[in-house]
């Protein structure tokens, strides 16, 4: 049974999603990598720009130097390292953008991000989302065979505190920073589940997991679930799809529930295996520059398909869902998706650090930008958490998909 479903505690569906490993999942539709020489940029800003054209000017540099001197001379709680101060300066500039998706990464943090894209994780094996209405973090998915599942963490569990530190109104980065840690160490989560409040101890360890799962639901209907779009996802999907087709499947369930997004190349390459000829998606930057990603249509799916989505289906998951819906090659079922129609790119600086910056908006083949709106399903099926966690669990959304496809096949 797939380890991600709709929230069960009644809060809104607006979320920001992360994974509890050494780094967050990139919840953008995709991330690109750009190298930028920060030393040259600083020199140009200081020597070539007049006052007011750049924040990196002689006045700003003098002020930073004065603050550093005061901190070193007067800060009561002791010395602060040069690296910590530099990180604070860079992080502060990104925070001034008031963009929850933007971030500054040290060289070490950037390395963890790239490792994550290769499928390397060290953590508890759970997804965490942030309810934007209540500013409350909660468990939005649990990966099978991980410490989170072994500790019986459940979708919808509110994370009230981490090792005694309350999480209310923390950013997702701050919450996950508290939970992640060295392999073999323990973290105590204070969880709210319905009316119950309790502490749960979880051991951190390496989490090896596929991003694609598949099986035959019966003799006619195949199932493929995609948890994220990463470097490894395309090959995993290609193999799973070949096995499903080789099993003579007459219909397919594509499960994107709880999928927070991922990489452009991955979602486009997967789209090219099932979509007709035409656009998969296109992007536009703030100057109106458009970049198109198309499909030759040679592998268009020719069997009925249901795409399962929910409020945790975001970004790249919405790219694929939007294209499938625009072309009518599948029926979207579940609840409204998250609604993230913007793109982040990783811009690596020459000293090994990097920033993640929102650079573009993306649009479905018919020109729809779903940012802030999400994708409405063709058939609404609310998630039944009580049935899912019963002694004999039932995934009512998956059962609805099977029933619908059965009718399509047999009338």
350 is known as an active-site residue: no
Q: Which residue has the tokens 């140009």?
A: 44
Alpha helices in 14-140 (DSSP H): 38-48, 58-74, 82-95, 107-117
Catalytic member of 340, 345, 356, 402: 340
Partners of 331 in the β-ladder: 306
**Structural contact between residues 161 and 167, judged by C-beta atoms closer than 8 angstroms:** yes
Task: Provide the token pair at 346.
Answer: 């990783």
Q: How many CB atoms lie within 10 A of CB 205?
A: 17
166 is known as an active-site residue: no
Nearest residue to 158 via CA among 338, 371, 330, 11: 11
Catalytic member of 269, 326, 360, 384: 326
Residue 241: in which H helix or E strand, if any? helix 233-246
Residue 348: in which H helix or E strand, if any? strand 342-349
How far is residue 367's CA from residue 370's CA, in Å, rounded to a whole number?
A: 10
SS3 19: strand
50 is known as an active-site residue: no
Catalytic member of 8, 140, 315, 353: 315
Residues belonging to the active site: 315, 326, 340
């Amino acid at each position: 049974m797939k380890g991600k479903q709709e929230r069960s505690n009644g809060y809104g569906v607006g979320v920001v999603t992360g994974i509890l490993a050494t780094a967050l999942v990139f919840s953008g539709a995709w991330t690109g990598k750009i190298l930028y020489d920060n030393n040259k940029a600083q020199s140009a800003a200081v020597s070539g720009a007049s006052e007011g054209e750049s924040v990196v000017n002689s006045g700003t540099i003098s002020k930073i130097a004065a603050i550093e001197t005061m901190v070193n001379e007067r800060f009561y709680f002791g010395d602060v390292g040069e690296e910590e101060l530099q990180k604070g300066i860079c992080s502060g500039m990104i925070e001034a953008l008031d963009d929850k998706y933007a971030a500054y990464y040290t060289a070490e943090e950037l390395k963890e991000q790239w490792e994550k894209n290769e499928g390397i994780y060290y953590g508890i094996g759970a997804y965490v989302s942030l309810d934007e209405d209540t500013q409350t973090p909660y468990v939005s998915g649990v990966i099978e065979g991980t410490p989170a599942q072994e500790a019986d963490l459940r979708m919808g569990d509110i994370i009230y505190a981490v090792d005694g530190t309350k999480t209310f109104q923390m950013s997702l980065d701050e919450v996950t920073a508290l939970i992640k840690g060295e392999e073999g160490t323990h973290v105590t989560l204070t969880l709210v589940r319905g009316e119950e409040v309790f502490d749960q101890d979880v051991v951190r360890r390496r989490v090896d997991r596929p991003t694609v799962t598949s099986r035959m639901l019966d003799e006619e209907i195949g199932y493929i679930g995609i948890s994220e779009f990463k470097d490894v996802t395309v090959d995993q999907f290609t193999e799973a799809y070949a096995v499903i087709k080789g099993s003579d499947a007459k219909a397919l369930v594509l499960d994107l529930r709880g999928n927070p997004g991922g990489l452009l190349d991955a979602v486009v390459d997967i789209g090219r295996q099932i979509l007709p000829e035409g656009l998969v998606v296109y992007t536009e930057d703030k100057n109106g520059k458009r970049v198109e990603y198309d499909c030759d249509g040679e592998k268009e799916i020719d069997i009925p398909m249901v795409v399962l989505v929910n409020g945790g289906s975001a970004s790249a998951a919405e790219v694929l869902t939007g294209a499938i819906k625009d072309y009518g090659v599948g029926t979207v079922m579940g609840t409204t998706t998250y609604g993230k129609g913007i793109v982040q790119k990783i811009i690596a600086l020459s000293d090994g650090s990097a920033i993640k910056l929102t650079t573009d908006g993306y649009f479905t083949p018919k020109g729809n930008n779903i940012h802030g709106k999400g994708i409405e399903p063709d058939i609404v099926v609310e998630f039944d958490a009580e049935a899912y966690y019963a002694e004999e669990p039932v995934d009512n959304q998956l059962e609805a998909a099977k029933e619908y496809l059965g009718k399509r096949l047999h009338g």
